[in-house]
Amino acid sequence: RLGLIDSVAGTIGAPLIRAIRADVREVSVWSGISPTLGRDLAGGRLDLIVSSNPSMAAGHKPRRLLREPFIVVLPKSLRHRPDIVDPLRMAERLPLVRYSARSVIGEDIERELATRGRVPPRVFEFDGTDGVFAMVAEGLGWAVTTPLCLMHGRMYADDLVAVPLSGPVVSREIFLLAANVVGASLAANVRRAAIALLTALVDGDITRLAPEAVRHIRVG
């Protein structure tokens, strides 16, 4: 019973299951936000999760899979605007399209904006990347996201431009957590497969779509 946050399920989810299929007789996969997956692991409803908040499953040792920086996505129509130096100033031009506060990524982004003293008014808010990117692609706003989320929403990539988040580099981390009943060899195989798939993703599509972010990404 495997739980994956949406950005992982939508990028490496299928090949990850293919890679571990020989190790298990039956696979059940749930996707969702980190708090929900963490509670399901802690409650014995999941055996392994890939999560961005290991504290939601206290007592389970997290093994890091990825560290990635926050980036900004803008409507592609703004690609050639030289006056946009600080992406956070976009709030003066277009609304911020938020990830909801129910998600860890949404909480992390809000915390960072508050630290910088710039918390745009609440206008649009979505649980997932698809909703966020659809709004930005239509030119209705801008968003703070990550390279992996950019891959998750790659169907909108032709209408977006990814740029660095100005100021200090701020990152999120993604972990694998296993229930105590899961054998060490299975957990190791899942982690090994996930790292290989994430490495290929970084070296391929992420380098193509968000090249400036790659030097701040660490796999494993």
Q: Is 1:46 a contact under the CB 8 Å cutoff?
A: yes
DSSP state for residue 91 in the 8-state scheme = G
pTM as predicted: 0.89
- The pLDDT of residue 120: 83
Beta strands 160-164 and 71-75, pairing class: antiparallel
Query: What H or E segment, with its residue span, contains residue 43?
Result: none
pLDDT one digit per residue (tens) for the chain, 220 residues? 999 999 999 999 999 999 988 888 888 888 888 888 888 888 889 999 998 877 665 566 789 999 999 999 999 887 766 555 566 677 777 899 999 988 889 999 999 888 888 788 888 999 889 999 999 999 999 999 999 999 999 899 899 999 888 888 999 999 999 887 777 888 899 999 999 999 999 999 999 999 999 999 999 9
Question: Distance (Å, rounded) from C-alpha 176 to C-alpha 53?
Answer: 10
Beta bridge partners of 143: 73
